Chains A and B, each alone.
Chain A
Amino acid sequence: MRIYVPRDAAARALGADAVARAVAAEAERRGLAVELVRNGTRGMIWLEPLLEVETAAGRTAFGPVSAADVPGLFDAGFGAHPLALGPVEAIPFFARQTRLTFARCGLTDPLSLAEYEANGGLAGLRRALGMDGRAIVDEVTGSGLRGRGGAGFPTGIKWATVLDAKADRKYVVCNADEGDSGTFADRMIMEGDPFVLIEGMVIAGIAVGADMGYLYVRSEYPDAIAAMQAAIAIARDAGLLGRSVLGSDRAFDMEVRVGAGAYVCGEETSLLNSLEGKRGVVRAKPPLPAIAGLFGKPTIINNVISLASVPVILEKGAAFYKDFGLGRSRGTIPLQIAGNVRYGGLFETAFGMTLGEIVEEIGGGTASGRPVKAVQVGGPLGAYMPVGKFDTPFGYEEFDGQGGLIGHAGIVVFDDTVDMMKMARFAMEFCAVESCGKCTPCRIGSVRGVETIDRIARGDAAGVEILTDLCDTMKDGSLCALGGFTPFPVMSALRHFPEDFSASHKEAAE
Chain B
Amino acid sequence: MKDFVIPWDADRDLGTPPSRSEEMVSLTIDGFAVEVPEGTSVMRAAALAGIPVPKLCATDSMEAFGSCRLCVVEIEGRRGLPASCTTPVAAGMVVHTQSEKVRRLRKGVMELYLSDYPRDFLTSTANGGTELQEMAGVVGLREIRYEPGDNHAAPQRNGEANPRYLPQDDSNPYFSFDPAKCIVCSRCVRACDEVQGTFALTIEGRGFDSVVSAGMAGDNFLSSDCVSCGACVQACPTAALQEKSIAELGMPTRSIITTCAYCGVGCSFKAELNGDQLVRMMPYRHGKANHGHSCVKGRFAYGYASHKDRILKPMIRDSIDEPWTEVSWEEAITYAATRLKALQQTYGRKSIGVLTSSRCTNEETYLVQKLARAVFLNNNTDTCARVCHSPTGYGLGQTFGTSAGTQDFDSVEQADVMVVIGANPTDGHPVFASRMKKRLREGAKLIVLDPRRIDLVRSPHVEAAHHLALRPGTNVAAISAMAHVIVTEGLIDEAFIRERCDWDEFRDYAEFISDPRHSPEATAPLTSIDPAELRAAARLYATGGNAAIYYGLGVTEHSQGSTAVMAIANLAMMTGNIGRPGVGVNPLRGQNNVQGSCDMGSFPHELPGYRHIKHADVRATYEDIWGVTLDTEPGLRVNNMLDAAVAGTFKGLYCQGEDILQSDPDTRHVAAGLAAMECVIVHDLFLNETANYAHVFLPGSSFLEKDGTFTNSERRINRVRTVIAPRAGYADWEVTQLLANAMGGDWTYTHPSQIMDEIAATTPTFAGVTFDLIDEKGSVQWPCNEARPEGTPVMHVDTFVRGKGKFIVTEYVATDERTGPRFPLLLTTGRILSQYNVGAQTRRTANVVWHDEDLLEIHPHDAEQRGIKEGDWVKLASRSGETSLRAQVTDRVMPGVVYTTFHHPDTQANVVTTDFSDWATNCPEYKVTAVQVSLSNGRTEWQEEYAARAEQSRRILPAAE
Bound complex: CA A432 to CA B206 (Å): 9
Q: Which residues of A contact B205 (CB under 8 A)?
A: 437
Residue of A nearest to B117 (CB): A444
* B203 & A279 in contact (Cβ 8 Å cutoff): yes
* B66 & A440 in contact (Cβ 8 Å cutoff): no
Q: Which residues of A contact B64 (CB under 8 A)?
A: 284
* A469 & B108 in contact (Cβ 8 Å cutoff): yes
Q: Which residues of B contact A472 (CB under 8 A)?
A: 104-105, 108
Whether, in the assembled complex, B713 has its beta carbon less than 8 Å from a beta carbon of chain A, the answer is: no
Q: Which of B65, B85, B186 has the most CB atoms of chain A within a 10 A radius of its CB?
A: B65
**A73-93 with Cβ < 8 A to chain B:** none
* B81 & A444 in contact (Cβ 8 Å cutoff): no
* A479 & B67 in contact (Cβ 8 Å cutoff): yes
Residue of A nearest to B110 (CB): A440
* A452 & B146 in contact (Cβ 8 Å cutoff): yes
**B308-335 with Cβ < 8 A to chain A:** none
Residue of A nearest to B209 (CB): A437
Whether, in the assembled complex, A234 has its beta carbon less than 8 Å from a beta carbon of chain B, the answer is: no
Whether, in the assembled complex, A434 has its beta carbon less than 8 Å from a beta carbon of chain B, the answer is: yes
**Complex interface bits, A465-507 against B, C-beta within 8 A gives 1, otherwise 0:** 0100110110011110000000000000000000000000000
Tell whether A438 pairs with B67 under 8 Å between CB atoms, given A444-B115, A448-B146, A477-B108. Answer: yes
A96 smallest CB distance to B (angstroms): 36
Bound complex: CA A444 to CA B101 (Å): 20
Whether, in the assembled complex, B19 has its beta carbon less than 8 Å from a beta carbon of chain A, the answer is: no
Tell whether A473 pairs with B67 under 8 Å between CB atoms, given A436-B206, A451-B150. Answer: no
Q: Which residues of B contact A479 (CB under 8 A)?
A: 66-67, 69, 83
A466 smallest CB distance to B (angstroms): 5
* B208 & A441 in contact (Cβ 8 Å cutoff): no
Q: Which of A441, A444, A445 has the most CB atoms of chain B within a 10 A radius of its CB?
A: A444
* A446 & B108 in contact (Cβ 8 Å cutoff): no
* B207 & A476 in contact (Cβ 8 Å cutoff): no
Whether, in the assembled complex, B116 has its beta carbon less than 8 Å from a beta carbon of chain A, the answer is: yes
A493 smallest CB distance to B (angstroms): 20
Bound complex: CA A440 to CA B109 (Å): 7
* B81 & A477 in contact (Cβ 8 Å cutoff): yes
Whether, in the assembled complex, B504 has its beta carbon less than 8 Å from a beta carbon of chain A, the answer is: no
Whether, in the assembled complex, A401 has its beta carbon less than 8 Å from a beta carbon of chain B, the answer is: no
**Complex interface bits, A432-470 against B, C-beta within 8 A gives 1, otherwise 0:** 111111111111111110011001000000000010011
Bound complex: CA A478 to CA B207 (Å): 13
Interface of B is mostly: loop
Whether, in the assembled complex, B218 has its beta carbon less than 8 Å from a beta carbon of chain A, the answer is: no
**Complex interface bits, B108-151 against A, C-beta within 8 A gives 1, otherwise 0:** 11011101100000000000000000000000000001110110
Bound complex: CA A445 to CA B109 (Å): 8
* A441 & B109 in contact (Cβ 8 Å cutoff): yes
* B66 & A448 in contact (Cβ 8 Å cutoff): no
**Complex interface bits, A266-280 against B, C-beta within 8 A gives 1, otherwise 0:** 000000000000011
Bound complex: CA A439 to CA B53 (Å): 18
* A477 & B105 in contact (Cβ 8 Å cutoff): yes
* B184 & A451 in contact (Cβ 8 Å cutoff): no
**Complex interface bits, B871-907 against A, C-beta within 8 A gives 1, otherwise 0:** 0000000000000000000000000000000000000
* A435 & B69 in contact (Cβ 8 Å cutoff): no
Whether, in the assembled complex, A130 has its beta carbon less than 8 Å from a beta carbon of chain B, the answer is: no
Q: Which residues of A contact B203 (CB under 8 A)?
A: 279, 281, 437
Q: Which residues of B contact A434 (CB under 8 A)?
A: 207
A297 smallest CB distance to B (angstroms): 13
* B207 & A286 in contact (Cβ 8 Å cutoff): no
* A435 & B208 in contact (Cβ 8 Å cutoff): yes
B88 smallest CB distance to A (angstroms): 6
* B66 & A439 in contact (Cβ 8 Å cutoff): yes
Bound complex: CA A452 to CA B205 (Å): 24
Bound complex: CA A455 to CA B149 (Å): 11
Residue of B nearest to A466 (CB): B145
* A441 & B149 in contact (Cβ 8 Å cutoff): no
Whether, in the assembled complex, B80 has its beta carbon less than 8 Å from a beta carbon of chain A, the answer is: yes
Bound complex: CA A434 to CA B104 (Å): 26
Whether, in the assembled complex, A285 has its beta carbon less than 8 Å from a beta carbon of chain B, the answer is: yes
Q: Which residues of B contact A452 (CB under 8 A)?
A: 146
Whether, in the assembled complex, B255 has its beta carbon less than 8 Å from a beta carbon of chain A, the answer is: no
Whether, in the assembled complex, B87 has its beta carbon less than 8 Å from a beta carbon of chain A, the answer is: yes
Whether, in the assembled complex, B72 has its beta carbon less than 8 Å from a beta carbon of chain A, the answer is: yes
* B207 & A284 in contact (Cβ 8 Å cutoff): no
Query: B112 touches which one: A280, A286, A440 (CB < 8 A)?
Result: A440
Residue of A nearest to B113 (CB): A440
Whether, in the assembled complex, B68 has its beta carbon less than 8 Å from a beta carbon of chain A, the answer is: yes
**Complex interface bits, A416-435 against B, C-beta within 8 A gives 1, otherwise 0:** 00000000000000001111
Q: Which residues of B contact A476 (CB under 8 A)?
A: 72, 80-81, 101, 105
Q: Which residues of A contact B146 (CB under 8 A)?
A: 448, 451-452, 466
* A441 & B112 in contact (Cβ 8 Å cutoff): yes
Bound complex: CA A279 to CA B147 (Å): 32
Q: Which residues of B contact A264 (CB under 8 A)?
A: 206
* B113 & A477 in contact (Cβ 8 Å cutoff): no
A491 smallest CB distance to B (angstroms): 15
Bound complex: CA A445 to CA B83 (Å): 18
Q: Which residues of B contact A447 (CB under 8 A)?
A: 149-150, 208
Residue of B nearest to A438 (CB): B67
* B207 & A435 in contact (Cβ 8 Å cutoff): yes
* B67 & A448 in contact (Cβ 8 Å cutoff): no
Whether, in the assembled complex, A262 has its beta carbon less than 8 Å from a beta carbon of chain B, the answer is: yes
* A451 & B207 in contact (Cβ 8 Å cutoff): no
B933 smallest CB distance to A (angstroms): 42
**Complex interface bits, B396-413 against A, C-beta within 8 A gives 1, otherwise 0:** 000000000000000000
Residue of A nearest to B64 (CB): A284
Tell whether A473 pairs with B112 under 8 Å between CB atoms, given A284-B83, A284-B86, A479-B69. Answer: yes
Other than the given A455-B147, A473-B108, A476-B81, 20 more pairs (CB < 8 A) read: A279-B202, A279-B203, A437-B203, A437-B205, A437-B206, A439-B69, A440-B67, A441-B108, A446-B207, A446-B208, A469-B108, A470-B108, A472-B104, A473-B109, A476-B72, A476-B101, A477-B69, A477-B108, A479-B66, A479-B83
B residues sitting closer than 8 Å to A (CB atoms) are 64-69, 72, 80-81, 83, 85-88, 101, 104-105, 108-109, 111-113, 115-116, 145-147, 149-150, 183-184, 186, 202-203, 205-210
Chosen A-B contacts, 28 in total, with CB atoms closer than 8 Å, are A262-B206, A264-B206, A280-B206, A284-B65, A285-B86, A432-B207, A435-B207, A436-B206, A437-B205, A437-B207, A438-B67, A440-B112, A441-B109, A441-B112, A443-B184, A443-B210, A444-B113, A445-B112, A451-B147, A451-B150, A466-B145, A469-B104, A470-B112, A473-B105, A473-B108, A477-B105, A477-B109, A479-B66
- In the A-B complex, the 10 residue pairs with the smallest Cβ-Cβ separation, listed nearest first, are A284-B66, A473-B108, A437-B210, A435-B207, A284-B86, A477-B69, A451-B149, A444-B112, A437-B207, A437-B206
A residues sitting closer than 8 Å to B (CB atoms) are 262, 264, 279-281, 284-286, 432-448, 451-452, 455, 466, 469-470, 472-473, 476-479
